Structure 1
């Protein structure tokens, strides 16, 4: 039975995607060494987060989603190894009571809470970008991260980005040595530095893992982010609500199309920097006073901003137009590939950016496109004709079998053994 559970509960935009990719990539290797990476799919973890945070969005999901956390707990308890890791960054938004309930459900296990965190100044534009992916229209210059008082639905604010806030809620009932603060290194450090710090927190220092995983590029450059904000100001018709927005604004437009087009970092205002600096100072003081285990350097939390970086409002219209036109080109390529029948589509895949392959098709009005369905229908018609031809062939074979039986074996001697012998002789001598 699992003896120790590491709950990696956040914070978002602190290298969590990289860490989760390493864990998934090494899932079997870790299991062989007694460490479970819990959760069958990322969707299961998202739903488990909804359950822990008592998120009202559960009401719109299949009933199975409401049992996601229970399934994680059952998976942990059934694992024969010594430890398990549950990693999902938006557990960080839970209230103290909700966190306590989640930890209590793992009774019998020694629970450790792991919180990754980063430069709080750089976290501000990252959080703003994430809100853009869900239809935010407020310019960065006017935006402030929501305070803790907004509750568990404030997924992209100080409630989740401030490691001290997260630790106070998730570690309230745990010994300080079971609360781990992992700082992400400054920009430019090799990714494995973050992994080494995380591995130390999860007692994986001596476990060999393969760190050769692709790095996610989900961040938007300054012009791409402003283009997305302007798109959000338009009438998006049926693209409303978290599920539709995550599918089309986040996954399709932001991640697949805009992210590869622009990577220029953006700045923050003096007021935003001052607020982030104060949050960082308070967080570091709280962490030191609380005695939680620190892996890395607390100076990495100090707020900074990109040197000489522009604000979105400073990007000329010509640059925005350039990014917008290139985004239209990429969307056209994606739409063309999706509308091309399978046989011809193989010739066009090489010319299509890998990030754009495999997406669901919609037309410009937001309605589902018919061409792919039509192509599948044509293929079904072909298969149906082949099936009917096969049935006719079986009927002809059956009729031939009857005819051969009548010709070779007298009607009053058509027992099974004699029939088999006659057919074998016929095949040997005639075929």
Structure 2
């Protein structure tokens, strides 16, 4: 029976994708050691976090999404091993009241909350990039994360500041049940991040494979500035979080622009100063809270940056990036078209075959809602027609029955067969007609 549950609640952009991929890749190893990785699919964890946070977007999703948290709790309840790990970064958005309800649902277990964080200056840049992927047009130099009090902000100080997340999620827990994992500086390598996380979740004795792919979801400074400008037009033509996530984030940002450049984006002076102030307050709150720190709180201090800012990108660089981006999109559309297109000579493709397949998959996902609507409309019409046919059949049977009855009633009784029916009809005619 499960005895201990580790809730890794964030924060986003703190190496969570890497950690989750290591967990998923080593699911069998974890289970053999008695540790359940909660959630059969990452989507289950996403929906569970939305349910915990009472996200209004759930109203547009199937019933299975709205009950995802309940299913995860049942999965924990049914586990025969001693521990379970649940990891998803946007649990960090939850309020103290919502977190308390989660901990009440898990009151039968010894619950430990794990909060991960990174260099807060870099966190600001990463948060700005994520907002770009959903149509943001504000330049980095003029953008600021929303304050911790902004309850619905997924990319503000509410999630980026580990002290606030630790306080909300640890409000009903002993301090030694709240763990803060600091992401090491890049030169330490990803294995150090896993070592710290494993120490927080009591997984440090397991022989796990750390050989997992690390998708480059970050754009270079040129590509990010290009997307920001394109968003000025796209955001009016592509609306809704689902459509923006498919077309702007997944297709344009991650599939096309991210592979075209990886030059790091600098941290503007004003944002670095704000991040430094948040860091100073955060370490005071973490220390006074008595939380367990895995790593060094100094790793969260904004490091000096000599990288270029988006405003320093030249028009020539943007033009070149736009040409390559358009070329990639044209190739994508060619590959999606039906039937072969004659060419004089094969041309090299700027988009690798594997990535073209992912782009096609994205197109299928994006078209899904429209196709599903049409299918539902046709299905409803078929159901209506079937009901009309059934009603017509029942009416015809009634008419035929009545016709037979009328015929028998009007026939000369002498011509009808003797028997129960004949005698009954003769009596009816004598008494009623």
Bin of the TM-score, shorter chain as denominator length? 0.7 to 0.9
TM-score normalized with structure 2 length: 0.80
Deviates more, 1:298-307 or 1:28-37: 298-307
Q: Quote the offset at 1:338 in angstroms.
A: 2.2
Deviations 1:163-185 (A, max 9, x none): 00100000111011110000000
Deviates more, 1:328-337 or 1:192-201: 328-337
Q: Quote the offset at 1:337 in angstroms.
A: 2.0
2:127 equivalent in structure 1: 127
Distance in 1 (CA, whole Å) between partners of 2:350 and 2:266 is 35
2:255, 2:359 within 8 Å by CA — same for their partners in 1?
no
- Match 1:327 to one of 321, 325, 329: 325
Distance in 2 (CA, whole Å) between partners of 1:269 and 1:237 is 28
3-state SS in 2 of match to 1:150: coil
1:233 equivalent in structure 2: 232
2:160 equivalent in structure 1: 161
Distance in 2 (CA, whole Å) between partners of 1:362 and 1:14 is 26
2:9 equivalent in structure 1: 9
Deviations 1:116-169 (A, max 9, x none): 100101111100000001111111011000002210x20001000000010000
Q: Quote the offset at 1:367 in angstroms.
A: 7.5
Deviations 1:176-235 (A, max 9, x none): 111000000012221100000000000001111111101121111111111111111004
Runs of 4+ in structure 1 deviating by more than 6 angstroms, as ranges, are: 347-351
1:390 equivalent in structure 2: none
Distance in 2 (CA, whole Å) between partners of 1:15 and 1:217 is 12
- Aligned ranges for residues 26-425 of structure 1 at < 5 Å? 26-151=26-151, 153-236=152-235, 238-307=237-306, 309-339=307-337, 341=339, 352-353=351-352, 354-360=354-360
1:11, 1:115 within 8 Å by CA — same for their partners in 2?
yes
- Which ranges of structure 1 fall in alignment gaps of 5 or more residues? 371-431
Distance in 2 (CA, whole Å) between partners of 1:262 and 1:322 is 12
Deviations 1:61-107 (A, max 9, x none): 11111101001101111111111111000000100000110111112
Indicate how the Cα distance of structure 1 residues 172 and 362 shifts in structure 2: closer, same or farther if over 3 A, else same. closer
Distance in 2 (CA, whole Å) between partners of 1:87 and 1:362 is 25
Indicate how the Cα distance of structure 1 residues 341 and 208 shifts in structure 2: closer, same or farther if over 3 A, else same. farther
Indicate how the Cα distance of structure 1 residues 362 and 27 shifts in structure 2: closer, same or farther if over 3 A, else same. closer
Q: Quote the offset at 1:318 in angstroms.
A: 0.7
Distance in 2 (CA, whole Å) between partners of 1:185 and 1:341 is 50
Indicate how the Cα distance of structure 1 residues 118 and 235 shifts in structure 2: closer, same or farther if over 3 A, else same. closer
User: How many residues align structurally?
Assistant: 363
1:268, 1:311 within 8 Å by CA — same for their partners in 2?
yes
Distance in 2 (CA, whole Å) between partners of 1:31 and 1:253 is 38
Indicate how the Cα distance of structure 1 residues 134 and 352 shifts in structure 2: closer, same or farther if over 3 A, else same. closer
Deviates more, 1:41-50 or 1:330-339: 330-339
Deviations 1:367-388 (A, max 9, x none): 89x9xxxxxxxxxxxxxxxxxx
Distance in 1 (CA, whole Å) between partners of 2:361 and 2:181 is 41
1:334, 1:357 within 8 Å by CA — same for their partners in 2?
no
3-state SS in 1 of match to 2:247: helix
3-state SS in 2 of match to 1:148: coil
Deviations 1:285-304 (A, max 9, x none): 11111110110011101112
2:395 equivalent in structure 1: none
Indicate how the Cα distance of structure 1 residues 349 and 46 shifts in structure 2: closer, same or farther if over 3 A, else same. farther
Distance in 2 (CA, whole Å) between partners of 1:115 and 1:276 is 18
Distance in 2 (CA, whole Å) between partners of 1:190 and 1:134 is 30
TM-score normalized with structure 1 length: 0.80
Q: Quote the offset at 1:359 in angstroms.
A: 2.6
RMSD: 2.3
Indicate how the Cα distance of structure 1 residues 350 and 156 shifts in structure 2: closer, same or farther if over 3 A, else same. same
- Which ranges of structure 2 fall in alignment gaps of 5 or more residues? 371-433
Indicate how the Cα distance of structure 1 residues 282 and 338 shifts in structure 2: closer, same or farther if over 3 A, else same. same
Deviations 1:318-342 (A, max 9, x none): 1011111111111122222222559
3-state SS in 2 of match to 1:112: strand
1:122, 1:305 within 8 Å by CA — same for their partners in 2?
no
Q: Quote the offset at 1:356 in angstroms.
A: 3.0
Distance in 1 (CA, whole Å) between partners of 2:158 and 2:203 is 28
Indicate how the Cα distance of structure 1 residues 80 and 326 shifts in structure 2: closer, same or farther if over 3 A, else same. same
1:335, 1:361 within 8 Å by CA — same for their partners in 2?
no
Distance in 1 (CA, whole Å) between partners of 2:72 and 2:237 is 34
